[in-house]
Structure 1
Amino acid sequence: MRSYIIKKLLISIPLLLIISFLTFILINLSPQNPAEVVLHAQGVPKITDELIIETEKELGLDQPFIMQYLHWVIACLQLDFGNSYVTGQSVWSLIEPAFLNTLKLTLVSSFFVIVFSIFLGVLCAMREGRIFDKSVRGASFFLTSAPSYWLASMVIWYFSIKLDLLPTSGMDSYKSYILPVTIITISYAGIYFRIVRSSMLNNLNEDYVLYGRACGLNEQTITLQILRNSLQVSISVFCMAIPIILGSTVVIETVFAWPGLGSLSVKSILSRDFPIIQAYVLLLAVSFVVFNTISDIINAVINPKLRNDL
């Protein structure tokens, strides 16, 4: 098992390097010179060629492309993503609190997404074709197809404005989590529970279920075994759900004024603050690689046969 983990980690290294390179060239794909962005942000009334050349030297943009990339990668390994073009502050000092706020929202939401997905998936599979199964699938189809900003607006109007029970924005207390977590859970649990349901139904038709019942095993034991086998398929989905939610909270954070990565990224894109955009994209890409590796390791622990496939 140790060798399998080491191999997976070694495989992820070149992937991370490719991701970092693609993230770095984002700044070079922009039609606007980063030096001009900095000068505009500083409020320079007249931008001359001399000022642009001097600013490029300060930013290190006059160096060869490969040297710029190497310096940037080494700095990123030390959590130094440079300084904001707009405010001049350290990018990490801006991203760290926003990342932690988004991570809190993501982890709480992911917990409820996973719990409700498994709960509804198992119940619907065990009651296939019945009223409960059809009702849950119909409701999930409607809720997941509805825009998240519309659902968020509706719950804000009802619970915050009409009933005055919950705050409309910020993250002052545990109550601030209720509405955004509810919207995220509705949006994703309605999708992921179908995967659990489908996997459960596939396992219900396996021979070991028939043999178990023939041997007199009780339904609870058989259901637990079916669930265990079904979750092997769902683990990868649930692990990848965390970075997906982490990267898709932009709308929710904007509606609920959540001080997280989503809100920060929108402001950075509008102001063309390239260092923050680079750091945001890099963090999300790395999170996908990390959680994908974690899912592979968990699956290998559950199913030893997978260790021989690498």
Structure 2
Amino acid sequence: MIRFLLKRLLQMIPVLIGISIVAFLLGILMPGNPAEISLSSEGAYSPSKEQIKLREEELGLDQSYITQYINWSKKTLKGDLGTSYKTKKSIKNELKKRLPNTLTLAMLSLLVTVFLGIALGLLMAIYQNRLFDQCQQFLSILFISIPTFWLGLILMMVLSEKYHLLPTSGLTSLKSWIMPVITLSIANIGSVSRLLRSSILNELPQHYILVAHSKGLKEKYIIFRHAFVNSLLPVIAMIGSMFSGILGGSVIVENIFAINGLGKFALEAINYRDYPALQGYVLLTGIMVVLVNILVDLIYYCIDPTLSVGGDLNE
């Protein structure tokens, strides 16, 4: 496992370099002059060319892109992500302040997805082609098809505005997490349940299942004790890949429910063309996704140490 982990960490280095390049390019490719935007945010609605040129020199924008990237990377490695154009505060501190809310939302959504998705998928496989399975297959497709923003607005309208069961927005209590978590996890529940059902049904014709049947074991026991465990690997892979989708979905959900998280911070950065803030967001979320993928590979290894994950093990 140590050898495998070291390989994954080494492979993470070029990925992180790629993420840093993408984050840096956002400040170059997006419309608008960062120097002019910076001056405008300070109240200079029509900055002169001289002012813009001085601010470009101050921000290092008069240098070549390669030099700018190297200087930006050096500061980033030291933990300095720059200063927000909008708030005039340290981007590192701004991200640190909002990170707990986004992580809480993401982890709660993953837990709900794992628990309900696996439970429903297992029941669908046990009661295959029966009424429960048919109804749940329909609901799974419905869950996947519902737009996130539409579901959030409907939940808010029904549960908050009409029946006053849950708070409309903000994080005033534990109840405040219910609607955002449901909104963010409902489509993933449908995907996980369908994948697990299909994976279990693919295991049932295998020889070890037939041997279990020949021993007189009950169908439910065989599915739960044998087929279920061997069907988890593709589900774990899907759940790991869902993390990046959840982070992306949090941009919509956090703004709908007024949650002060990374997603809301990113959307505000886009609206105000706050490029340094957006660069910090992309870099942080990219690192989080990479770390989660490494964790998924470790779970793969723990479940089946003989499996070659990404062609690295047992070469």
Which category describes the TM-score, using the shorter chain as reference length?
Answer: over 0.9
**Residues 202-254 of structure 1, C-alpha deviations (whole Å, 9 max, x = no match):** 11121111112213445425522211111112111112222321221122112
Residue 43 of structure 1 corresponds to which residue in structure 2?
43
Any gaps of 5 or more consecutive residues in structure 1? none
Deviations 1:247-270 (A, max 9, x none): 211221121111112211111111
Contact 2:140-2:194 within 8 A present in 1 as well: no
**Correspondences of 1:257-276 after superposition (within 5 Å):** 257-276=258-277
**Partner residue in 2 for 1:301:** 302
After TM superposition, which residue ranges in structure 1, 4 or more long, deviate above 4 angstroms?
Answer: none
Aligned-pair distance for 1:299?
0.8
Is the aligned partner of 1:209 residue 2:172? no
Q: Does 1:97 align with 2:97?
A: yes
- Whole-Å Cα distance in 1 between the matches of residues 45 and 202 of structure 2? 67
Aligned to 1:53: 53
| TM-score normalized with structure 1 length | 0.94
Kindly report which structure 2 residues correspond to 1:1-310, keeping only aligned pairs within 5 A, or say none: 1-218=1-218, 219-220=220-221, 222-307=223-308, 309-310=311-312
Contact 1:247 1:284 in 2 (8 A): no
Taking structure 1 as reference, are residues 130 and 222 closer, same or farther at Cα in structure 2, changes over 3 Å only? closer
After superposition, the Cα gap between the structure-2 partners of 1:128 and 1:222, relative to the gap in structure 1 and judged at 3 Å, is closer
* 1:180-222 deviation digits (Å, cap 9, x = unpaired): 1122222220122111111111111211111122134454255
Shift of 1:46: 3.8
CA distance in 2, matches of 1:222, 1:186: 25
The TM-score normalised by the length of structure 2 is: 0.93
Matches of 1:238 and 1:210, distance apart in 2? 29
- Partner amino acid for 1:70? I
Greater displacement, 34-43 / 180-189: 180-189
The answer to whether the 8 A contact 1:24-1:69 is kept is yes
User: SS where residue 241 of structure 1 aligns?
Assistant: helix
RMSD: 1.7
Matched to 1:192, the amino acid is V
Q: How many corresponding residue pairs?
A: 310
Distance 1:21 1:230, change over 3 A: same
Say which SS state the counterpart of residue 231 (structure 2) adopts. Answer: helix
Q: Which moved further from structure 2: 221-230 or 266-275?
A: 221-230
| Higher mean C-alpha displacement, 234-243 vs 162-171 | 234-243
